[in-house]
Structure 1
Amino acid sequence: MKDFISFMEKAWLRYITEGILEEGIREEVKDSWKLCREYGVDPFGGVGEILDEKSMKIRLKENEELITVAHPIMEDIYRQVTGSGFLLVLVDKDGYLIDRIGDENIMGETRKLNFVEGALWTEEAVGTNAIALALRLDRPIQLVGAEHYCITHHMATCSAAPIHDEEGNVIGCLDMTGLKEDAHPHNLGVVLAGAYSIEKQLALIRSHKLIDATFDSIHEGMLILDHHFIVQRVNEIALRILNITPQEIIGRHIQSFVDFDIIKEVLNQSEPYYDVEGAFYSRGRKIPCRINAVPVMANRKTIGTVITFREERYVRNVVNKLAGFRAYYTFEDIVTQDDKMKKVIETAKKAAKSDCSILIEGESGTGKELFAQAIHNYSKRAKGPFVAVNCASIPRELVESELFGYEKGAFTGANKEGKPGKFELADNGTIFLDEIGELPYEVQSKLLRVLDNHKIVRVGGTEEKKLNVRVIAATNRSLSEEVEKKNFRNDLYYRINVIKINIPPLRERKGDIELLAKVFVDRLNKYNNEQKVLSESFIKRLKDYHWPGNVRELQNVINRAYYLAEGEIITEDYFPEKIERKNYEEDINVTAVLPFDVIEEKNIKEALRLAKGDVVKAAKMLNLSRATIYRKIKKYKVNLKELSSLVEKK
């Protein structure tokens, strides 16, 4: 080492005085010396420039994580070399010193060169040095004595290794500086190991941050338990649901907060448990939740459990969205120019602003559900679910369980996990009880109790669940007459009849017939990219008819005529010669305005029936190409053989 030190001193002097580079100088040192000469670095200088206090504070803040991670590792290394005259230095990616630890004697000597926090230690600033080369070349390097460009550094040896982030970018370096007589390859190995430890610790911290971010970004409460069921971690959602602080739950047994039988079952079976109805308990509150519990296994043993949970009401909101429990129509969708109808709309708008029960009366096809949806969307509950129930369509024996839900095992054939009823699904929203007059008498008393105390009890259960549901009921018959006939409870009638809305039949608002007919044609034109219009003779036939099926019947007639008309003008030839009301009775499964797919399917089947199964003829009747009608037949799964056989039988 002495010979090398002596050789480098002579080689350095010759380069400085003559500009000649001796053989035996390392290539990276040669390149750096030449670079320093280009920069105009004073070989007799080498004193660092120190950042001002404000700039230094900013730089320390930017490198806070690196300093926090590196300092303990630097302390560990220093404990191994204490008393050996070495100094450990942490440098940022730009070459600024941001931390150092070392023996006082070397700290004092280097302080004379401003080798302190805030100093810039690049080649351009202080000449060739291990820190600058490690950062520029992105590799570990050791320099001894006169390999440094500035003579003031010739007394030292320095070993530096770059520090990388997880993407491989250089974010700083670790340097160990001492007297040149103490230079040893081992020094570089120590620094390299230290830099590697810093990188691994940074990666681990960032991995933990990513896990924490993921942990807290999950839209469910989450708890991590150890094998003794002690809570080890909890996310923000869980804290919010339970309304507690981390200190109140971490380190405590989970049975203090949840139905523990669910968790024990996971332990016993060592299998995940998903979407189980349960409850958490916090601050004297019972919080109904849907709970998932998943065991964490190692060597075939359960070493912990991960619990995720959502409030039951949140789950219901998700279910409502997926199941389509929402209102689509608003008051703008109600087409009318009739003064009487406009007054009904104004009454409905006023009713929407209150939270009281509403009874809508009107004949079949007048648009009772359309009004119910509009009221919901006009109310403060618009963002909540809208659940429509047709009381006439539910089998008598299932009405109670359908409305109020049932617990697991409540009856033969019941869902093994139980099932929420329509009232639960409508929580914080509106339930629309259509054809309420068809409700069995024995169920009416239970409905009255729900309306009075805003609580339900599932079939087969004992627990009361408090709900916030607005009730809109509808009927196509006179409920007051049903009360007199003892078919409908008097007290329930008055409970739902706080505000009554009577929708006039279409025959009482003749002015709306032409308006509605043209609206229906316009919608069909947009859907089919056509320009069909109604003839005056067709409109006259519409106005002369008494419309027992109301708006629904009118829409059906328009749809049929539209698809059968061969030209752009829909003439009276396409007006049904005989309209039987039975063809237009209110379908319990449709809304006030039929979806176009349903309309299209019905009309294609009707055309095929009239054409006796002849697809080409039906296509002409509908003004469709053969390719289009075959595509529609496939779409709606029309069985031509079955259709032909039915025609033959007739």
Structure 2
Amino acid sequence: MIKEEFRPVIESSHGRCKRLNINRDMVYSNKIIGDAELQNKFAKKRKMILTAAPYMEQLINIVKGHNFFALLTDGEGCILNAIGDEKILSEAFKLKMIPGAYMDEESIGTNAMAVVIKTGKPVQLSGADHYIKSYHRWTCSGAPIKDYQGNLIGVLDLTGYTEQVHPHTLGMVIAAANAIEEMMKVKEFHKLQNTNNKHIKTIFNSMPVAIITSDVDGKIKIYNNKVAELLGNRDNQLEVKMMNEIINEWDHIKELVLNRDHFEQDISIKSLYNASNCHLTANPIYNPIDDSVEIIYVFEKIKKVEKQAFYTFDKIIGKNENFLKIVQYAKKIADSKSTILILGESGTGKEVFAQAIHNYSIRMDGPFLAINCGAIPKQLMELELFGYEEGAYVGAKKGGNQGKFEQADGGTILLDEIGELPLDMQIKLQRVLQEGIITRIGSQKSIPVNVRVIAATNKDLKKEVELGRFRKDLFYRLNVLPLYIPPLRERKGDIKLLIHYFMKTICDNLNKKEIEIPDEYLKLMMNYNWPGNIRELENVIELIINTETIPSEYFNKETGATDDAQDVEILNLAHVEREHIKKILQKNKGNITRTADDLGIRRNTLYNKIKKYNLCI
């Protein structure tokens, strides 16, 4: 039942449609833009599309199986993204409710998105509330997305069949739209803050060394971008607050600095990923106004190693005879110019093999780029792979921007989850493989690229071809040198070897003592089918090291090979996480603060997980 509060705005919209002489028997929007113009839209709205994508996925996951689809439009009503249950989404596509179609009143009559654009307020419509008859089967809930100044920049819509109408649906859409707005405001705030400070920080951040200042207690005051880069932090944001979190024996170094007015020595710092050797110069700064003292630190990396492909064949663990033959085959094809298609279940180590092949080839000194085709919204795929030219769209970066293929020139590009590549991009990839050239968006110029392509998938691409979801010509172009990575259950003799390898490696990284696994539990682990493969095994070993407990009930489950091993892996790892949190809660007698500290997460995150797993405090 649609709330009566919406009735006046719906009737007002119908009145405007009549005055516009909109045909109630029309099926398609009067305005659907072409591919070139749509690509410009995608480029201009890239930030909103990326910000909204996870919230749209979450919204669809909540109503999954109940035949709903979600639409994201810009402030003018142009559809930018559409996801949802396959059945209803295919019906919508038949009505050309596709990216590029406009959903405003002038183009398609009264609907939730059109009303939101006119009023700037959330609304829910059902059945005959829509002006055109072809939409009478739908119920749709729309909510505005506004920028920090209150201007409408987009609309989020959730549509289903009329029998699914429920006021709570609108509530979910409003909540999702609000979350998108808040996330975009946060991003905009950081952007404005960075702009205001840009003049002061330009020189500071242009220095080729990492610089930090702290007070005499070691509390970090300011730092340049090189510091976050040095420590492995993201987005130039430092995750530590105190100098003793970066420098070992900081108290001793502080005393030397204050006593000598100078300190210079090679030291080891605590990076996010591993210890890093640096040359440190430190000096005190005396403030005569308030007699305060600060210390300035300058770090220079002694040995800077930036290798995008870390794995080599000697780091691939296994003694299984068939597996060793596969390794030898991979070495044999490493120097070939032909495309490699790596097949195997999730977690078997497809990217590890791709990196090893790159490092074994004559391209080893060139770049290695790994692209997850399933993680990039399809509207942005062409931008990411092929880049854009200066002036391609409003706000385009000066000088344009290289795509991943240009960045990988002279090296190797891994197209992981290649089975998720949209059909239109499959055509463009086919041209790259065939001709060795790319064309940036907004340009007519062909750019030659010398890139070795390795594709990887856990899908049966032959079946995808039969179903019309993957192009036959592209499949044969990729499948020149197929490489099948067997699941762990087919090489059980390697499980013990991998357990010892991960135990030593993880303990070294975490600076923890190795845990001895009794034979009875080793037997359980050897007999377990490991649906999540090597990735699951590594996660379980890390759990054992952190908790000093072996979750024997985990291996007693009757889990075997499934048609969707990835889902089983996720379920199993969720079980492991639940048991780990439960154990740490018991250890700390329900103390949330201590438990969150031990787990390395925030209190709010811990509360959410306690609720998720229905744990008692």
The alignment's TM-score, normalised by the length of structure 1, stands at 0.43
Larger radius of gyration: 1
